[in-house]
Structure 1
């Protein structure tokens, strides 16, 4: 056999070995829509906890973030009692990380700088698929009711009496990753009213729900798509007056912010964090004081596969991809 033939034969053997190994890995580590770094052997659509102990994290302090919907200073205070409980339950220090955008929040978890978090409805699937987020709970009322609606709001005497009147005007969204602040209204406007951004109306992005709500209330935006739970809390805090806004559309109920951990914390640490959520007594706490304004007073156990099904369908209708950049 010539040298060239031996090289070609060896190259073929290596290629065959690579293909075989890749196939074996794909069978051993199915991941569906998850990024290739994660496995989903049990089919629950979230990343499995690594089996290799060398891949597990046991950080101190733990970094906690709440979704960036309103003033971070308000929520640092609101979460203070819960974070003290989390410290007691885990035996670790906990630091509140005030994130400024959904993208920054997802990147922080993907890079290992964020360990426990609440991701808003729309960014939850991207956090699950790109950052290894494992959500397990949402907030609910004492009777178990949970969720919120997307509302399209305007201000009195804006000239917009119904959704059809948005045509030729401006509509404010929060951010492209937000369910109620972009994805759900985009799908609804297209399917129910044949209204498409850029073609039929001018889209504007405010960055956050509270910015949209304030913008509409102060007549900076003619109309806006918002989460009504955020709007209710702002009304309760006297940030805006209810008579400053008019609702022209209200959607079906969507799941609210999902809370969970990054996939590669030690299993026993993930169990302690989960226990902290479900053993927390809301009565008389800063968390109750803030969230009772929108009717939420307990943590309810949930699973991503079932609770976020409607959101994944909205994403599919909008052609949203969960591929990681």
Structure 2
């Protein structure tokens, strides 16, 4: 039995009248990384499907930074988010009972990971991370896995204190801001994320570069890859643990089958090309949680 049939059977078995008495609305949090209007637009198809599935008003919230989503989940004002692994680690370390881990994106090659990609302008003369020494370098957000935690750790291990290695280290505020900032010359180099599949000229298959290229914000031929991290585990789709179980089951089924029921909506949800969403568990993020604890001195 395929995913869609299983999901249909699961939803049919649930009691909608009982559910309608338990929640009156549903709030989706979308991590920072692109401007708020673009996040709202790309999330609309999913929002409408959630609203139809649950039968309650559903809203999308686009905080300015990653921590806005983290705090929304911790405070109970958000019910759902697709987090990066580091943001999930922060939620878990703050309150291990706040959310349930559900699913994660599976790439078109069957992997469930992605890369932090260092990059610069193609005409900058920076063709490797060593060429960026003494330059202004941009990370995305302190709570971003690929936009800070992993690349900062890997680069520090190899090159030492980054404030000494680079002329200046800046936080752009998000992946889109880093990409556009480097393209515009605000930063001489930076780091963002991609699945690393397909062509650089397209922004790879999925990720921040693909979204920026699709939106016409950058011409990828104006940029060049200068560094790549080790494979990073794809972040989890999470829901607030206190939600009724039937709500969780319906959301799980919706995300689990999104590429079968509406491939275009799946493309938007996955930030580009992907195979589908697959189950994931808390234990898959123990390494990132350990790295986050080390970073915070917990």
- Scaled by the length of structure 1, the TM-score of the pair is 0.73
- The 2-side partners of 1:165 and 1:246 are apart by 12
1:169 and 1:311, CA in 2 relative to 1: closer, same or farther beyond 3 A? same
The structure 1 residue matched to 2:227, chosen from 244, 249, 260, is 249
* 1:311 corresponds to: 288
Pair 1:236 & 2:214 matched: yes
The structure 2 residue matched to 1:200, chosen from 155, 165, 173, is 165
* 1:40 corresponds to: none
- Scaled by the length of structure 2, the TM-score of the pair is 0.79
* 1:67 corresponds to: 31
* 1:137 corresponds to: 103
* 2:80 corresponds to: 116
Instruction: Give the structure with higher Rg (CA).
Output: 1
Q: CA deviation at 1:313?
A: 4.1
Q: CA deviation at 1:80?
A: 2.4
- The 2-side partners of 1:218 and 1:279 are apart by 39
Pair 1:83 & 2:47 matched: yes
* 2:245 corresponds to: 267
The structure 1 residue matched to 2:280, chosen from 297, 302, 318, is 302
Worse-superposed segment, 82-91 or 240-249: 82-91
* 2:14 corresponds to: none
> Any stretches of 5+ residues in structure 2 without a counterpart?
1-20, 195-206
Q: CA deviation at 1:283?
A: 5.0
- The 1-side partners of 2:57 and 2:217 are apart by 33
Pair 1:216 & 2:182 matched: yes
1:293 and 1:320, CA in 2 relative to 1: closer, same or farther beyond 3 A? closer
Provide the secondary structure at the position in 1 that maps to 2:292: helix
* 1:127 corresponds to: 91
CA offsets, 1:128-155, max 9 Å, x none? 2325122211122355333221011111
Q: CA deviation at 1:296?
A: 1.9
* 1:150 corresponds to: 116
Contact 2:159–2:165 at 8 Å: present in 1 too? no
Provide the secondary structure at the position in 1 that maps to 2:277: strand
Contact 1:137–1:299 at 8 Å: present in 2 too? yes
Q: CA deviation at 1:167?
A: 2.5
How many pairs align?
263
1:130 and 1:293, CA in 2 relative to 1: closer, same or farther beyond 3 A? closer
